[in-house]
Amino acid sequence: MSSLGSVLEHLKSGKTIAYPTEGVWGLGCDPRNPNAIENLLSLKARSPEKGLILIASKFEHFLEFSHVEDHKNKLLSKWPGPHTWLVPSKEKLSPLIKGNNDKVALRLSNHQTVCNLCDTFGGPIVSTSANKEGQPTLSGPKEILEYFPEVKVLDGKLGGLEKPSTIQDVVTDIILR
């Protein structure tokens, strides 16, 4: 396991990191770096059409990526916490993040390790489960490093949630997961 400083260097250099979240271990990268996102999708063997989650520690981190300000009260009714909202994205948002969707998946976390990571990084990070596409989520740092040896794993513990976060559309209220 690696320190915050070491993981932050890896993140800023365009590489993939792993970190604990509320319920599962996540893989992430810099959402402003297309090469980093492509590398993450390749590591997971994940289709770019599906889209990815952005996770952050501050509401303001999402302003450049989405229209969160239009839905602030509703979003804050479940945030911060393990609730992912699908929010209309800004037009310039990379299809590598939003996939074939007009919305982007956002989660404002209250997990201390995630918050420290995002605060120190100065913005959101891409967040997806630590696994190959279609496979079970990896259970911890040792297993993550066996499957993804090039990833730096941030020291920390899961938040105790037994499953991934709920995903809900902010416009339609439909719960997708």
Q: What is the reported pLDDT for 169?
A: 97
Residue 18's SS3 state is: strand
Residue indicated by tokens 């990191």: 17
Domain map of the chain by residue range? 4-169
4-169 maps to CATH 3.90.870.10 = yes
Answer whether residue 164 shows pLDDT above 90: no
Answer whether residue 2 shows pLDDT above 90: no
Answer whether residue 40 shows pLDDT above 90: yes
* pTM, rounded to two decimals: 0.95
Mean pLDDT of all residues in 46-62:
97
Q: What is the reported pLDDT for 165?
A: 83
What stretches of 93-162 adopt beta strand conformation (E)?
103-108, 125-129, 152-153
Answer whether residue 98 shows pLDDT above 80: yes
Q: What is the reported pLDDT for 71?
A: 98
What CA–CA distance (Å, rounded) separates 35 from 91?
20
Provide the angle, in degrees to the nearest 10, between the axes of the packed helices 4-12 and 112-121.
50
What CA–CA distance (Å, rounded) separates 84 from 114?
14
